[in-house]
A and B are shown apart, each in its own frame.
Chain A
């Protein structure tokens, strides 16, 4: 018996085909994984199944009955619910309100606050969600928000639950708990479609695996028990991308100073809207070293980057770069000493999407010189063109707006701007988020090349696999503090425990 069946579904966004002739029928009562690289069309596929995206062509049937495509109401009525990757809950709502606003349960028209909280208390308890009905969504930790979102999805009688990249925001122990929850739901008769991109997670939880690549199905309902990691990786990436060599230009700044590229000594800040304040942060990044910052998002990583950038003042402690005290200097002066930043939000902080590529690229040159100085756009265009070509950015013209670039090319443009000859310390915040495997490999190669040339590199990432791959050392942040430091070979359990504050033993330094 099929729970969800797609028949010849295609989705076009303008010129781009996000899904192409996808036909698949998911069996009822099992855990199905849908996997693929970024941009493979996984999220679009999930949204088509949930009625949020209307496919250009194709049909959708739930429990053997065809429903109107692109109609959330119809999909929900037939029991399909979607948990979004970045949760769709209004932050000012209480947990009970978040349950109620999507509920289709028949009740009286007006509720009292007490009745509402009573109505949903049992529901939350039965799903083992650690939130009180009166708590506000914005005050909840990410894992609990996800629990609430799942509870919201199950508040009507959901028979098919679709989870879009549910592990992206979770620490390892929370991922285990999520998988346990998924298995309990399956035992209760719910069909689960889970969108994932990490191979070991897929193999840990799924019963069948369906692979999307560039909007097309390349494998359908493979039995997970018969798969190994290598085969699955091959299916996801395809043969074209394997073994591609990437040539990355590196900065020449081989200053082998004895003093570290970055030294934070007892650094502290005030709390910011982005997260908790830094408290007593001691952090050293040597020349020719990549240091990774691990931690669940929102534990002070943004504040750390802002403090290093000079965008957030230190209330205590010092910041040295190459032995020079830069504690009280502006970002501009710090840039003059070789600080370069790859910011968290490449489309917000990294690039001005409406400005031309050459303007984005030459911003570094423009802020560095005197303010009253003639600018030669023609020369900058030429410089920009050759720099972008050197970094193999795919672009049509340096006059095109930066917003027209794909994620990978946008990130390469930022790298082309930031990693120049004078770079000494490179802070890369979530440098590969949202990038596909090829672009990710490029970014890693660029960071490694910078290390070979003697730059200090600080990488902030929520992807532990990434950190383990490229870091010489991994430092764990929790609530604005450094709670552990690890060297290869990395102990996933210990790092996970440190990230969640589960073990105070993480405070002791682990040595290789």
Chain B
């Protein structure tokens, strides 16, 4: 039982960090499809930088820097060049996936995977059964709680939501929607870096090309599933992680009795099911989507 909890926490943590980045962006009015790219850029930068400098802290700092830069690029393209946020986000995802591949190939040759000298610090012996989890898992509840407070119980959160839902309303009380989106995306960059670093350096200490395997898109689905509420979206991400854990577990238990492709696709099937369910629960696709309202003023 505890072992299952550890497994689910390990799988859910990177996903939840990235989901929170998606929640911030969504509330500010940007459907964030660049999460996948930022997550893999964060994972790649964390491993490469900590391998080159022999310092995990430095690796984490570089990952944050890279992801924040990527987010600023996305903001610039959407707000200043007036690009469609979906296309811009997908472009950022392409940039992250291709860029991390290119970086690994050019630094380490055609290995496909890079081992870091060490992982993120773990909780250690005092945590008992949970000793193998990283400190980012421990930090997660605080991050989720803080973000929930900031988004749902402060004036800042209201202005951020207004920027997404009714930009003109935000503007007419003196909150600049473009500026609110900048804050949301930059903070999201930090969270994506943490998610990526946790994925590569949390329970493992390795980066392999394409290792995010669609988790950024699952995070985006969790944002939709959780109605852009930090708590709901985190719960949705946990649900997807549970599916992922069950898939791996079933593979071990069933062995070759079940087709491994089917078991590996469980989290993706869960994602599709989750999005379908959330759409059904809210009575169809939301008519006034943030995409159309983004251009309203």
Contact = CB atoms under 8 A, between A and B. Distances in A.
Partners in one complex: yes
A101 B155 contact: yes
Contact of A72 (B153, B161, B173): B173
A280 B153 CA distance: 46
Given A101-B158, A109-B154, A73 B174 contact: yes
A36 B221 CA distance: 50
A84 interface: yes
A238 interface: no
Interface residues of A, number: 24
Interface in A87-143: 88-93, 97, 100-103, 109-113
**Size class of the B contact interface (CB-based, 8 Å):** 20 to 34
Contacts of B172: 50, 52, 72, 82, 84, 88, 102
B209 to A, nearest CB: 41
Interface in A51-89: 52, 72-73, 76, 82, 84, 88-89
A14 interface: no
Contacts, number: 57
Interface in A227-280: 273
A93 B158 contact: yes
Contact of A103 (B155, B161, B166, B170): B155
B174 A101 contact: no
Contacts of A50: 172
Interface string B150-185: 000111001101100110111111110000000000
Contacts of B158: 93, 97, 100-101
A109 B161 CA distance: 17
A111 B155 CA distance: 9
A83 to B, nearest CB: 10
Max chain B Cβ within 10 angstroms of own Cβ: one of A52, A73, A88: A88
Contact of B173 (A91, A92, A97, A102): A102
Interface in B174-233: 174-175
B81 to A, nearest CB: 20
A245 to B, nearest CB: 40
Contacts of A100: 155, 158
Nearest to A72: B174
A309 B175 CA distance: 42
Nearest to A47: B172
A76 B174 contact: yes
B170 to A, nearest CB: 8
A110 B148 CA distance: 11
Given A72-B173, A88-B169, A110 B162 contact: no
A72 B171 contact: yes
Given A52-B171, A76-B173, A110-B149, A90 B154 contact: no
A90 B171 contact: no
B252 to A, nearest CB: 45
Interface of B: 149, 153-155, 158-159, 161-162, 165-166, 168-175, 287-288
Interface of A: 50, 52, 72-73, 76, 82, 84, 88-93, 97, 100-103, 109-113, 273
30 contacts: A72-B172, A72-B174, A73-B174, A76-B173, A82-B172, A88-B166, A88-B168, A88-B169, A89-B166, A89-B169, A90-B161, A90-B166, A90-B169, A91-B166, A91-B288, A92-B165, A93-B158, A93-B165, A101-B158, A101-B161, A101-B162, A101-B170, A101-B173, A101-B175, A102-B172, A109-B154, A110-B149, A111-B154, A113-B153, A273-B287
Q: Identify the 6 closest CB pairs spanning chains A and B, nearest first.
A: A102-B173, A101-B158, A88-B169, A72-B174, A73-B174, A90-B165
